[in-house]
A and B are shown apart, each in its own frame.
Chain A
């Protein structure tokens, strides 16, 4: 008797739970095709009073604050749109989108912050909505649509499936209180390591920045032109990067712990640098250092530097999932972020320190003045010098091959 009763209760519970879910009616799904025919004013009108969810990395309080305040407040005032930020990265939301694609379900994500391999995979699997960038007035007006930074994302054509958000560029950071002359190429870097044995290292290649550092060393030795048309075959790549692999093997004994282990993340390397355990760190956000000096994590004598032949730069983008519930709202938000007045707010290193995607040549004097009046802070390299020393990322599919070769040849070297 009693067991039956318990069973019944459990059964009712499960059913009622399922029904609680059922009652949530699916909203009518707008596949976005109709948006293409609408004028911009109609899209803005449609977005009025809606909520837009923005999914992206949430590990930096400054970026979070910028989106939550500067961007969100203005969106509310100008377009009556509420911006909701969700701290979720591609590795977490792409599986979700894949499942939703399989069942053609309605989504929850309006905007994703994405680039590189994730973009390539998402676009190949039809997880993104587009092309949409041609619909955005600010994209057409302020962005150099023919520049490789906007047309290509890690060597893959963007084709209007994502809009640029900001630009990043690799910089190295050195402690000038100890290092008298900062290295300007890979040879000087090795001399520095020989002079300060065990005080230089780079993040493991499972880390994004560590991987970029190795590509930068390879560029410095064999030049980036070698990779433009390179076939994504391990042996072919090995032949091209062999001099760089030899260099890294030679460098290995002078590194931290004789190069037998590497910091797992850039965060760990930053912390080691802050603790004085190593003399050099690096970052893919060029003005990262200004924030770190300002909040006291890095010493005032820290200085960022570049290689003469340049460092790798990439662009990060915003895209719309295929099943974004509020596509009109998403377009308005992206358009708003592309305006020079918003781009300049995140250019400020105390706010974020992200390079703008707007093209200086397409701005009027007043807008140019906005960018020039930004105080860049300590230890940074000005934007024009950065852009003169900027080389593009190689194609996304070459990256894992290089990482594999590094593990085999450099890490595996006894």
Chain B
């Protein structure tokens, strides 16, 4: 018992300590070795964040909307794909399984250059939907991989039961499949959301600067080595992600509890 307790706190400290450092950095003007606590206090980073002319909150909200749309769309693509791979046998299935992981293996940068050319032609470059589409690509491997495991674990027996008892295909999706895969959906959705929220170069290229995301706003500060600014902006970054994930879990969790108590 005691050992477990100690391990738990060691892990917690390991996770939280860097965060504490960041909070410290975001409000200090200097924090040099060997002093243990920051030497000067400054609010310049947060005051910049709160300045209306910087439009941080507008960018943040836009970013969140973008990533939520990306998450929804990616899940919409991933669910049928994962289901098909889990339950159907077809030629080249193992090839498809590998192909789905390609976005993680091939550098997005090279793909994005070609996609950009095509997007200019069809008029998707510099538009919201263009950025959404390019963000979907790196999200798909996560979505399919996670949901594939969920489908394989659950099997499709319960769905077959429902069909035999006279449920329509739509009713099966609504009352059986969705509640069953909800935990998987939350996890996959969270990862897709975070992946989309952190995308940098492909947003630049496809969005052409018309679509400005929070990562684009944050990155130059990290690169220029302004630790105070970078820390403050990163804290806002983390808070926004946590908030979205928390709300999703609450909403979906409620829905899940109501509709699934008969099945689990």
Known: A92-B201, A102-B117. A267 touches B220 (CB 8 A): no
Q: Are A275 and B33 in contact (CB under 8 A)?
A: yes
Q: For A367, what are the chain B residues with a Cβ–Cβ distance below 8 Å? A: none
Stretch at the interface among A64-72, A123-131, A369-377: A64-72
With the chains together, A102 CA to B125 CA distance in Å? 14
With the chains together, A13 CA to B205 CA distance in Å? 23
Q: Does B89 contact A (CB under 8 A)?
A: no
Q: Does A364 contact B (CB under 8 A)?
A: no
Q: Are A87 and B117 in contact (CB under 8 A)?
A: no
Stretch at the interface among A55-63, A191-199, A387-395: A55-63
Chain A interface main SS type: helix
Q: Does A239 contact B (CB under 8 A)?
A: no
Chain B interface main SS type: helix
Q: Are B120 and A100 in contact (CB under 8 A)?
A: yes
Q: Are A61 and B48 in contact (CB under 8 A)?
A: yes
Q: For A265, what are the chain B residues with a Cβ–Cβ distance below 8 Å? A: 223, 225
Contact with B along A244-271 (1 / 0, CB 8 A): 0000000000000000000001111011
Q: Are A55 and B209 in contact (CB under 8 A)?
A: yes
Q: For A99, what are the chain B residues with a Cβ–Cβ distance below 8 Å? A: 113, 116-117, 120
Q: Are A10 and B209 in contact (CB under 8 A)?
A: no
Q: For B130, what are the chain A residues with a Cβ–Cβ distance below 8 Å? A: 21
| Closest A residue by C-beta to B169 | A2
Q: Are B205 and A92 in contact (CB under 8 A)?
A: yes
Q: Are B209 and A93 in contact (CB under 8 A)?
A: yes
Min Cβ gap B124→A in Å is: 4
Q: For B225, what are the chain A residues with a Cβ–Cβ distance below 8 Å? A: 265-268, 270-271
Please provide the chain A residues from 83 to 122 with a CB less than 8 Å away from any CB of chain B in the complex: 86-89, 92-93, 95-96, 99-100, 102-103, 105, 107-109
Q: Does B77 contact A (CB under 8 A)?
A: yes
Q: Does A24 contact B (CB under 8 A)?
A: yes
Q: Does A17 contact B (CB under 8 A)?
A: yes
Q: Are B123 and A21 in contact (CB under 8 A)?
A: yes
Contact with B along A6-27 (1 / 0, CB 8 A): 1000100100011011101010
Min Cβ gap B219→A in Å is: 8
Q: Are B220 and A103 in contact (CB under 8 A)?
A: no
Number of residues on chain A facing chain B (CB within 8 A): 54
Please provide the chain A residues from 1 to 49 with a CB less than 8 Å away from any CB of chain B in the complex: 1-3, 6, 10, 13, 17-18, 20-22, 24, 26
Kindly list 8 other residue pairs between chains A and B, CB separation below 8 angstroms, not including A18-B122, A87-B212, A276-B33: A58-B217, A58-B221, A88-B216, A95-B116, A108-B126, A267-B225, A295-B29, A296-B39
Q: B residues near A, CB below 8 A?
A: 29-30, 32-33, 39-40, 42, 44-45, 48, 51, 53-54, 76-77, 80, 84, 113, 116-117, 119-127, 129-130, 133, 169, 201, 204-205, 208-210, 212, 216-217, 219-221, 223-227, 229
29 contacts between A and B (CB under 8 A): A6-B80, A10-B80, A17-B133, A21-B122, A21-B123, A21-B124, A21-B130, A22-B122, A24-B127, A60-B226, A61-B229, A64-B54, A69-B53, A72-B53, A86-B209, A88-B204, A89-B220, A92-B201, A95-B113, A95-B116, A100-B120, A105-B120, A108-B209, A274-B30, A274-B32, A275-B32, A276-B33, A277-B33, A295-B42
